[in-house]
Amino acid sequence: MGKFATPMLGLAFWCLWVVASGAVYMKYKDPKQPLNARINDLMSRMTLEEKVGQMGQMERGFASAALLKKYFIGSVLSGGGSVPAPKASAETWVHMVNELQKGALATRLGIPMIYGIDAIDGHNNVYKATIFPHNVGLGVTRQVCRDPRWGRCYESYSEDHKIVQAMTEIIPGLQGDIPANSQKGVPFVSGK
Contacts for 57 with CB less than 8 Å, ≥ 6 apart: 73, 74, 75, 76, 77, 116
92 with 154, same domain: the answer is no
37 with 113, same domain: the answer is yes
149 with 79, same domain: the answer is no
110 with 150, same domain: the answer is no
- Put simply, whether the predicted model's pTM sits higher than 0.85 gets the answer no
Specify the pLDDT at position 187. 64
Specify the pLDDT at position 92. 94
Query: What is the tens place of the pLDDT at every residue in 84-129?
Result: 988 888 899 999 999 999 999 999 999 999 998 876 655 667 777 7
Residue 19 lies in a domain: no
- For the cut 70, the answer to whether the pLDDT of residue 20 exceeds it is no
| Cβ atoms 119, 126 nearer than 8 A | no
Question: Residues of the chain with pLDDT > 90: what percent?
Answer: 40
Residue 190 lies in a domain: no
Q: How confident is the model at residue 81 (pLDDT cuts 50, 70, 90)?
A: confident
- For the cut 70, the answer to whether the pLDDT of residue 131 exceeds it is no
**Amino acid, res. 125:** N
Region of poorest pLDDT, from 18-32, 123-137, 172-186: 123-137
138 with 153, same domain: the answer is yes
Q: What total number of domains does the chain contain?
A: 2
Average pLDDT over residues 138-149: 63
What residue numbers bound the domain in which 110 lies? 25-129
77 with 149, same domain: the answer is no
Distance CA 70, CA 108 (A): 10
